[in-house]
Structure 1
């Protein structure tokens, strides 16, 4: 055997043995995922996106073939998929769910009383494979037909689901965000467009509605801060909080921005309703100089579904964007989520509702990242490490 080839194999094996899957570089992760399934790699210049037909998800993205991977993975499930040839959901940077999470119309309690012990994620989001219908170098489209979903009061929805993942060129990123990326900055950007088509009877608000929901799972870090620009002033802000009190070390409101500690260390969640939401959110890892921006389709007059567990008279005034922190597991693996959702619509037969969720990562000198952040998020990155740590 060629000595050089043997050295590469041994080096790769040592890397898998000594690092968790969440520490692997992009090319290493692709090799590992291929042991469990057949992922698709979208590429454009140096940028890469790893896509799976497992829930039609984006597993991760990177600014280079051997670059940092942004998506968080559930390592125990990934290993199970590899060894037992299962197809269970294992995390990822952009995954598809359906809202509502809460209210009497929830999809997540198995037609039982809405309380934590009855929480049950439908199989559609756990082990469903979405057939691929088309693929190019920078785009892949999935379509899953004849899907049946039932809400907590027993309303049945018969739907088709389409998902298209697109990797953008640098020129396209500049156009979408209306910026000019400096030559010194590495970048990757992609979008997921999800379409839900009603193939059954017309939907009615009184029986509940469903709508696309994009959820990204990212690696928690003590040096990462979530950034949520909002409309209005701080005194009138209707900020949703779940699982925790609004301690200053976890959330702070300053200069029309909500800052949220995205360390993945303590179970906590925030959300913004439509009237306060802007069509961009993000987070910044100030130690590693990585800026992430999410842009999404926002309907300023739309009705959004509730995530609250309790009974609500109006279940159509929920959050548009959310961020969830998971508590650290036994292996020390942490993650947080950035989520956006589409408005709810009472669709007639064969009508559809769609949602566009776009993720952009920038890496490089903070001086350049700061200009991007100020332009898009209205947020200064300089000194961001003190915003939650000291409350300044």
Structure 2
């Protein structure tokens, strides 16, 4: 059985409500029980791009802190840490023992509202309390679309690189809306929420993450999340950062709004797959929630785009899995009652002829395939 078919059979065994979107060889698997999460996809009917935590799913049990089921597009909310954190109870110390992903975005299902061959819609209403004691009445609407070839061409741009028949492509768009279902406005003084989309992909020894950024003043790449990333694993050249995607050492990077672009990606030479992620981003909006695990001087000086490479928490300890992440966030949501904020996150997996992949990488990531492959 090929890898994608094996993943589909495994997920179907454990989740009979699994939603499949399909257009020829391009397929997407979505799990309502895991918040309408895109678990994996394929462009050629064989390669499976999303990382799936089989051991955890097979156990049928929920663990403490976070249930890392996997999946290449999952819905989360920020901020993680700080005085407005929603992953820490009021007053506790910011440490791993006290860190807890809120159940509505971790272990509770989203309701499947509707589906057809190319799309699925989900919803969820719930309550949250942040570290400062502010209560939120939250509504979430989530739509997932399997993009048509003409929509993929629109994402890549008509003036970009024409899609060749030598390429296999799957494009997935998640449209995520946050709604203030309460009677009071959400204010900066009491804390704001943001939409946070994270994609977990299968790591490989030669895979490399590519994060382009704008020229300008100030720090372009923040690598202080879990301790400074060593130069052997993170390289900055001109207006791009290369970050290893081998899942051999834990590390995370982010780009602030003043320096961000709304594209990031990765390349795996083993499967000849170029992955591109793009998302809605207004460079004029500089207010993004800060997820640092501390009482913050600047709670709205967070990052727009992030990437994470998994590895052991400490030498000799186990790790979550062999995956890396590409992530995007919405701005902080200062919403009036019934106010809405929508964040769209689009993932493209393009597989095949390296000459064509090189043109796409140059256009959207600003570097050649050769530069990516030889970065480390």
Same fold (TM over 0.5): yes
CA contact (8 A) 1:362 1:369 kept: yes
Of 234, 252, 263, which aligns to 2:246? 263
**Large movers: runs of 4+ above 4 Å:** 328-332
CA distance, structure 2, for counterparts of residue 236 and residue 316 of structure 1: 16
Of 108, 118, 121, which aligns to 1:141? 121
**Residue in 1 that maps onto 2:70:** 91
**Residue in 1 that maps onto 2:23:** 44
CA contact (8 A) 1:189 1:359 kept: yes
CA contact (8 A) 1:268 1:324 kept: yes
CA distance, structure 1, for counterparts of residue 272 and residue 51 of structure 2: 18
Range 264-273 or range 118-127, more displaced? 118-127
Task: Give the CA deviation at 1:29.
Answer: 1.5
Q: What secondary structure does 2:109 align onto?
A: coil
CA distance, structure 1, for counterparts of residue 209 and residue 359 of structure 2: 17
Q: What secondary structure does 1:274 align onto?
A: coil
**Residue in 2 that maps onto 1:347:** 335
Of 282, 290, 308, which aligns to 1:324? 308
Correspondence 1:124 to 2:104: yes
How well do the aligned residues superpose, as a CA RMSD in angstroms?
Answer: 1.9
Instruction: Report matched runs for 1:189-208 at 5 Å.
Output: 189-200=171-182, 201-208=184-191
Structure 1 residue runs without a partner (length 5+): 1-11, 13-23, 83-87
CA contact (8 A) 1:366 1:382 kept: no
Correspondence 1:334 to 2:314: no
Task: Give the CA deviation at 1:319.
Answer: 0.5
Task: Indicate the structure (1 or 2) with the bigger Cα radius of gyration.
Answer: 1
CA contact (8 A) 1:304 1:317 kept: yes
CA distance, structure 1, for counterparts of residue 39 and residue 74 of structure 2: 8
Range 30-39 or range 273-282, more displaced? 30-39
Range 250-259 or range 236-245, more displaced? 236-245
CA contact (8 A) 2:310 2:320 kept: no
Q: How many residues align?
A: 359
CA distance, structure 1, for counterparts of residue 191 and residue 321 of structure 2: 36
1:32-82 Cα deviation digits (max 9, x unpaired): 1111112111011221000110211101010133x1111111122111139
Of 257, 267, 281, which aligns to 1:284? 267
Range 350-359 or range 297-306, more displaced? 297-306
> If each structure's helix is expressed as a fraction of its own residues, which one has the higher value?
1
CA distance, structure 1, for counterparts of residue 291 and residue 187 of structure 2: 19
State the TM-score, normalized to the length of structure 2.
0.91
1:319-359 Cα deviation digits (max 9, x unpaired): 00111111157489411111100001211100011110000
Task: Give the CA deviation at 1:385.
Answer: 2.7
**Residue in 1 that maps onto 2:356:** 368
Structure 2 residue runs without a partner (length 5+): 62-66
1:124-150 Cα deviation digits (max 9, x unpaired): 1221111111111100000112x1011
Task: Give the CA deviation at 1:286.
Answer: 2.4
Task: Give the CA deviation at 1:244.
Answer: 3.1
Task: Give the CA deviation at 1:239.
Answer: 1.8
State the TM-score, normalized to the length of structure 1.
0.88
**Residue in 1 that maps onto 2:64:** none
Correspondence 1:384 to 2:366: no
Range 239-248 or range 155-164, more displaced? 239-248
CA distance, structure 2, for counterparts of residue 240 and residue 102 of structure 1: 16
Correspondence 1:228 to 2:206: no
CA distance, structure 1, for counterparts of residue 169 and residue 89 of structure 2: 42
CA distance, structure 2, for counterparts of residue 385 and residue 115 of structure 1: 37
CA contact (8 A) 1:93 1:217 kept: yes
CA contact (8 A) 1:43 1:167 kept: yes
**Residue in 1 that maps onto 2:222:** 240
Of 37, 59, 65, which aligns to 1:57? 37
1:138-163 Cα deviation digits (max 9, x unpaired): 00000112x10111111111011100
**Residue in 1 that maps onto 2:164:** 182
**Residue in 1 that maps onto 2:87:** 108
CA distance, structure 2, for counterparts of residue 221 and residue 362 of structure 1: 17
CA contact (8 A) 2:310 2:321 kept: no
Of 270, 285, 292, which aligns to 1:308? 292
Q: In structure 2, do the counterparts of structure 1 residues 105 and 41 end up closer, same or farther at CA, with 3 Å as the change threshold?
A: same
CA distance, structure 2, for counterparts of residue 354 and residue 332 of structure 1: 30
